[in-house]
Amino acid sequence: MEYEIVIGMEIHVELQTKSKIFCSCPTEFGQDENTHVCPICLGMPGVLPVLNEKVVEYATMAGLALNCEIAHFSKMDRKNYFYPDLPKAYQTSQFDLPICTGGLVEIEVDGVKKDIGITRIHIEEDAGKLLHESADGSLVDVNRCGVPLIEIVTEPDMRSAEEARVFAEKVRNILEYTGVSDCKMQEGSMRFDVNLSIMEKGAKEYGTRTEMKNLNSFRSLVRAVAYESKRQIIELKKGHRIIQETRKWDDTKGVSSSLRSKEEAHDYRYFPEPDLVPIVLDEAYIEAMKKALPELPEAKKTRYIEEYQLPEYDAGVLTASGVTARFFEETVALYNEPKQISNWLMVEVPPLLKELELSMEEIPLKPTQLAELLELVKDGTISGSIGKKVLSDVFKTGQNPKVIVEKEGLAQMSDTGELEGIIEEIVKNQPKSIEDIKAGNEKAYGFLTGQVMKATKGQANPQVANEIIRKVVAKYL
Ligand code: ADP
Ligand code: MG
Ligand code: ZN
């Protein structure tokens, strides 16, 4: 029997507001435990929450960027439960009337395009963090309580780990562009829950699903899908049925294990939040948000192809991250050779980042420096290969290319006198090349140029060198 994997995702995204969703505590990550709290985010009796307007703005922008309908009327609800990491004992969320519904994201895997449906996006507050650090018990840090979140729920439209990864990356890319979240997965700003079931290929009805919570890297997402789909298929082949349950993914061990089954599922007794007014958005507001949206990755890619005549591949790579796209655009504004800039950004920059273990966000190179460097290559001050060395020096020292070229004496040798001496010497020692040239083999010129470049450590201006080589060789013919 042939099996098919069915995946639907729930994605939690922390919004990049300065203050929390219902109070004025800061949302900053990485502060001392339990310092960013107040009676409201601690859920003291009698306090009154006030919805942060920026949260509505960001949720609307995220919804528009993911092609959703924005509700003119939505409301907040209480999701009641005993949460050890949420002292209110209920999470303020949205239940039956979320702010966004019915979106879609187009993905492409192996050249095949496909739409992944977005069921809904709702606004909610984050819970605190449990720290299981001591044998005496667990500790709780409530700084994260009340940090605003959106939860994006997809249709069960994905059919492989690869589709899930491409979808997740695309959503991150789009949200990063809109600026509603920093999307830092290592800081928990973006967490993926994967619902997965197995069915017979082509079946009409889905199988029973399990849910793996809080995957926080694309790598663990792919590994978790691979492991869990294999586990379910083995169970089915044994004739067992899949139990609907929440499973925990252990990224170190590379296995998932049961956390709780559906039989223990909670009845959250959702009810409308009585302390908050509904969210009413008119068409003008939604239009204004649409206008406030920056250019999104897909549109940017198309524009790069048209405006800069870049190949589709280049446009795809450059727009795959907002940071790279911004760097590219700032450099093009200073030095109008898009394809050249693209080549250097795609080929030369990544290995240097990798060597220094930096991300593109932390790149020590400035657009002004890349523009200056390419200018030096173009006007012949330095060769392309010296340019690569200079780039590496800029990464390591932060100095401007001109300063490095000056200090290290890297400018190309165009001084004919000096070059002539070197070339005379080389030609004299290569009688075989002279024989070849006499026999009509023009390739020997290339060989001699290579020797000159080697002797000058790449600093000879190739054009000048070529002219002199021909002049010197002529004396032997
Ligand atoms: P619940 O209300 O129990 O959380 P939902 O209908 O909201 O269930 O679904 C939650 C997530 O699970 C959605 O992303 C959805 O696409 C996904 N999902 C639902 N059924 C399946 C299934 N049979 N296999 C895989 N994913 C599923
Ligand atoms: Mg759900
Ligand atoms: Zn607070």
Residue 156 alpha carbon, nearest atom of ligand 1: 16
Cα-to-centroid distance, 247 and ligand 1 (Å):
14
C-beta contacts of 361-369 below 8 A and 24+ residues apart:
361/323, 363/323, 363/327, 364/394, 364/395, 364/398, 365/391, 365/394, 365/395, 367/327, 367/330, 367/331, 367/333, 367/334, 368/334, 368/400, 369/394, 369/400, 369/401
* Mutational pocket test of ligand 1: of 77, 93, 115, 195, the residue with most ligand atoms within 8 Å of the beta carbon: 195
Q: Is position 351 within any domain?
A: yes
Cα-to-centroid distance, 349 and ligand 1 (Å):
41
Written as six digits, the tokens of 399 are: 């100095």
Q: Which of 233, 256, 285 is the last residue of a domain?
A: 285
Q: Domain check: are 319 and 453 in the same one?
A: no
Write down the residue that tokens 């859920």 correspond to.
Answer: 43
Cα-to-centroid distance, 150 and ligand 2 (Å):
13
Q: Domain check: are 466 and 317 in the same one?
A: no
Q: What single-letter DSSP state applies at residue 276? A: S
- Predicted confidence at residue 265, as pLDDT, reads 62
- Predicted confidence at residue 263, as pLDDT, reads 62
Cα-to-centroid distance, 471 and ligand 1 (Å):
77
Q: Domain check: are 272 and 395 in the same one?
A: no
Angle at which helix 462-474 crosses helix 416-428, to 10 degrees, equals 50
Residue 293, phi-psi category: left (phi > 0), alpha (psi -120 to 50), beta (remainder): beta
Instruction: Please report, for the domain that includes residue 457, its CATH number.
Output: 1.10.10.410
Q: Domain check: are 86 and 205 in the same one?
A: yes
Q: Which of 379, 408, 437 is the last residue of a domain?
A: 408
How does pLDDT run along the chain (477 residues), one tens digit per residue?
Answer: 899 999 999 999 999 999 999 999 999 988 899 999 999 999 999 999 999 999 999 999 999 999 999 999 999 999 998 888 999 999 999 999 999 999 999 999 999 999 999 999 999 999 999 988 888 899 999 999 999 999 999 999 999 999 999 999 999 999 999 999 999 998 999 999 999 999 999 899 999 999 999 899 999 999 999 999 999 999 999 999 999 999 999 999 999 999 877 666 678 999 999 999 999 999 999 999 999 999 999 999 999 999 999 999 999 999 998 899 999 999 999 999 999 999 999 999 999 999 999 999 899 999 999 999 999 999 888 888 889 999 999 999 999 999 998 888 887 776 677 888 889 899 999 889 999 998 888 899 999 999 988 888 878 877 788 889 998 998 888
- The alpha carbon of residue 79 and the mean position of all alpha carbons in its chain are separated, in whole angstroms, by 32
Q: Is position 290 within any domain?
A: no
Name residues contacting ligand 1 (CB within 6 A).
Answer: 6-10, 153-156, 195-197, 206-207, 209
- Predicted confidence at residue 36, as pLDDT, reads 96
Residue 157 alpha carbon, nearest atom of ligand 1: 16
Q: Is position 30 within any domain?
A: yes
Q: Domain check: are 198 and 67 in the same one?
A: yes
pTM comes to 0.83
Residue 196 alpha carbon, nearest atom of ligand 1: 25
Q: Is position 26 within any domain?
A: yes
Q: Domain check: are 169 and 228 in the same one?
A: yes
Q: Which ligand is nearest to the CA of 44?
A: 3
Burial of residue 391, with CB atoms counted within 10 A of its CB: 0-12 exposed, 13-18 middle, 19 or more buried: buried
Q: Which of 262, 285, 308 is the last residue of a domain?
A: 285
Gap between the Cα atoms of 131 and 101, Å rounded: 35
Number of domains present in the structure of the chain? 3
Q: Which ligand is nearest to the CA of 94?
A: 2
Cα-to-centroid distance, 142 and ligand 3 (Å):
10
Burial of residue 259, with CB atoms counted within 10 A of its CB: 0-12 exposed, 13-18 middle, 19 or more buried: middle
Strand partners of residue 245: 210, 261
Cα-to-centroid distance, 141 and ligand 2 (Å):
25
Q: Is position 168 within any domain?
A: yes
Q: Is position 148 within any domain?
A: yes
Q: Domain check: are 463 and 324 in the same one?
A: no
Strand partners of residue 425: none
Gap between the Cα atoms of 427 and 416, Å rounded: 16
Looking at residue 188, its amino acid is G
Task: Determine contact, residues 262/253, Cβ cutoff 8 Å.
Answer: no
Of 21, 79, 28, give the one whose Cα is nearest residue 50: 21
Q: Domain check: are 220 and 368 in the same one?
A: no
* Mutational pocket test of ligand 1: of 209, 245, 267, 270, the residue with most ligand atoms within 8 Å of the beta carbon: 209
Q: Domain check: are 339 and 442 in the same one?
A: no
Q: Which ligand is nearest to the CA of 27?
A: 3
Q: Domain check: are 387 and 454 in the same one?
A: no
Q: Which ligand is nearest to the CA of 205?
A: 1
- Give the domain extent around 189: 3-285
Q: Is position 81 within any domain?
A: yes
Three-state secondary structure call for residue 284: helix
Gap between the Cα atoms of 423 and 439, Å rounded: 21
Q: Domain check: are 199 and 86 in the same one?
A: yes
Q: Domain check: are 272 and 323 in the same one?
A: no
